[in-house]
Amino acid sequence: MFANPAYCETFGKHEEELYLQPLLSMVHEEDQEVVRQALSALYQPPFTTYVEQRSKTGDDWRWLAWSHRAVLDEHGEVISIIGVGHDVTERKQTAERLELAAKVFSHSREGIMITDSNGDIEVNEAFTRITGYGRDEVMGKDPRILSSGRQAPKFYAEMWSELTEKGYWSGEVWNQRKDGTVYAEMLTITVVHDAYGKSQHYVGLFSDITAQKSINSSWSTLRIMTR
């Protein structure tokens, strides 16, 4: 086994140490079978494989992507294997975070609306359940289609002023469903900026608090009547 300096640096070992260490001993036990299969595949056409695995690098486990190629002699027999690897840990972690975010987005009980500067809108199932609007019905539309008309223009001016200044806004809003009924929601809007500080997306997270406000109103009325 021969290894270049970058390989030794990645694994935190001297080249002499690597000679004596079995290859699979540096592979995470959950990935060892995949690596075995990849190495076995090198002994048949097309004599190349690609595998992503977790490897022990120093005191840490890192995701490494390996491209292997078998070297053949004049008789077509494998005489050596060349492997080129690179660290894909960051990409893997990003993918895991995105997968988690997608699950939260899909299964959240709170409505979520994400808009961008192009007018594209993405909503989750809870948004449709609360508002009655499906994704296709709001795509390319102004979020003001939900407006009930109960808030004065000054209300929205102050909202946008706070969004611009602080990057977020939270409060109660009266909106209107697709069927025309008005409902109260607790809304939080967060601005997502790009690497240059420009507003890229607006993420709105809301829950229907109509029933809660109705109960509070009933209690307030009861208190007044019993005074």
Residue 225 within a domain: no
Residue 223 within a domain: no
Domain with 162, as residue range(s), is 108-218
Contact 115, 141 (CB under 8 A): no
Domain count for the chain, please give it: 2
Residue 156 within a domain: yes
Residues 211 and 124 in one domain: yes
Residue 112 within a domain: yes
Question: Would you call 108 exposed, middle or buried from its count of C-beta atoms within 10 A (0-12, 13-18, 19+)?
Answer: middle
Residues 55 and 135 in one domain: no
Residues 82 and 135 in one domain: no
What whole-number distance in Å separates Cα of residue 122 and Cα of residue 124?
Answer: 7
Among 58, 93, 128, the domain boundary falls at 93
CATH of the domain at 211: 3.30.450.20
Question: Would you call 144 exposed, middle or buried from its count of C-beta atoms within 10 A (0-12, 13-18, 19+)?
Answer: exposed
Residues 165-218: tens digit of each pLDDT = 999 999 999 999 999 999 999 999 999 887 778 888 899 999 999 988 765 554
SS3 32: helix
Residues 45-87: tens digit of each pLDDT = 999 999 999 988 777 888 999 999 999 999 999 999 998 988 8
